């Protein structure tokens, strides 16, 4: 059987492979973190624009639409300074007996 190399050379190759994988994972995680930050900034800006747009829309709608008309009296109220006319209570009909009572 042929010998591929010494244990030291094999360990060096294994260590180099681990270091390469570690560097690739670090780079991927850093890229993912920056992508998440970018997405968060975009989401915050978009949400803020939506809220600002809603406030502006409501303000413009309130300014453009006419307010409800105020009620006006249909007939002028006459004020008299004469003595009040005494009113008699309306005559109420007396209860009548119904047959069978």
| Residue found by looking up tokens 């109420």 in the block | 92
CA distance 90 to 86: 12
Question: What pLDDT does residue 70 have?
Answer: 81
Average pLDDT over residues 19-24: 97
**pLDDT tens digits along 48-90:** 999 999 999 999 998 888 777 788 878 766 666 666 666 666 6
CA 29-31-36 angle, to 5 degrees, is 95
Per-residue pLDDT band for 37 (boundaries 50, 70, 90) equals: very high
CA distance 53 to 91: 68
What value does the mean pLDDT of the chain take?
A: 84
Q: How far is CA 66 from CA 47, 59, 79, 85, in A?
A: 31, 13, 34, 45
């Amino acid at each position: 059987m042929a010998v591929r190399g010494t244990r030291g050379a094999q360990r060096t190759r294994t260590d180099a492979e681990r270091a390469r994988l570690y560097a690739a994972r670090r780079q991927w995680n850093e890229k993912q973190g920056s992508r998440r930050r970018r997405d968060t900034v975009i989401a915050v800006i978009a949400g803020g624009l939506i809220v600002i747009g809603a406030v502006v829309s409501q303000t413009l709608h309130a300014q453009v639409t006419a307010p409800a008309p105020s009620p006006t009296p249909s007939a002028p109220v006459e004020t008299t300074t004469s003595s009040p006319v005494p009113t008699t209570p309306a005559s109420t009909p007396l209860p009548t007996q119904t047959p069978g009572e």
